[in-house]
Structure 1
């Protein structure tokens, strides 16, 4: 499977008179949008291809469903009042747009040198990022959104899977609810987790559906973490960052792992 074949399959599966496609060869992305409203979804083909090699047609089925649901629900009128339990923070890369295609400014906060925090209204099978115009219509202030979102992310269940490689322990949070990476914002949880770390604590959010916490005991651990994070980053539907972070005294510091025994 290559980019040309994947693009062709998606366009065939998503053929609608009201939808049009735009392929960005440089970024290797495909945008599907409504011809009239110009609202749409952009997907990274490389990530879908990587997932296809593991899951075959299931990977295509998932992204088709995601796009159809997103485009369909974009026409609905959305409100925040009464939907407080459906507001969550979402982690994105610093290269993620700060406004919609229509020019509406999105609500976001800086998080680390590699990540930002946006805010979303969960719609069930998809979500809508909250923009400042929606806040004005609802007469909500920014702090109210942030407070509600942070409370909701702390309320989410956290299930952890564990793996040990060369005396280094890796913990994976991967519930696929769209907010796995966002659980990095649960500061209380990270602090409590750090108390059981014997070595150096590292954290990674390669894409939106996974949070990795590592107990690094030796240099091999850094190499394994770097390889693992890059692999997840390449296969994620919504990639965030291939870099990992050191967690110390409640702070996240990006680290660049150059190779065996080398980190910066």
Structure 2
């Protein structure tokens, strides 16, 4: 990362502004700013130009996702399958950004690998944390099972597991695996975590904005970003994301059409 990259910080802020306009359906100023960004590409440094193209491809992929989601809504399919298809559509903006990064001959991410942090200072510590994670996952799923009817609902457990896996993996690949990595190239680590957490929270409120939900997801994004930056891997944040989804289901805040 280069020092005093003002263009990088401006692009980061611009991404937040564009995402706010997009999620609130202010499409006229959104497209005007996006068009201005495309015209300004020639004046950007190479690393900033990459991020600018990433921003453009992110919204391009999300527009395709939006219209495909509308198309799926018009098809008579099982409600749960519709939810799963909607989650899978998030692959589109991921692939569009990966294509841009590949065209610039850059690494797609620095975080698609095993954790390598203070946890690895000793083998004993590594094993301890692995056991804790496994125990938390077991307790979470056990809690789900205990909230079911007396008869074990195998279908519900499998359906929940599928949804949690797809959602957590794709969200973490996008926000922590790709975007956080690239924004760290044009801004410092703290700023990158802050910007991606704000974007993550805004994107979560696309179907309805409430201040409480926004703040909670912003804090959640900060936590996941911090974990990822320290571990140099999205594996811990993916597990944490999955655990939170399971707990939300247990508490009744998350419901699936099963």
TM over 0.5: no
Which structure has more RCO (C-alpha within 8 Å, separation ≥ 6)? 2
TM-score, structure 2 normalization: 0.28
**Higher share in strand:** 1
**Higher share in helix:** 2
TM-score, structure 1 normalization: 0.28
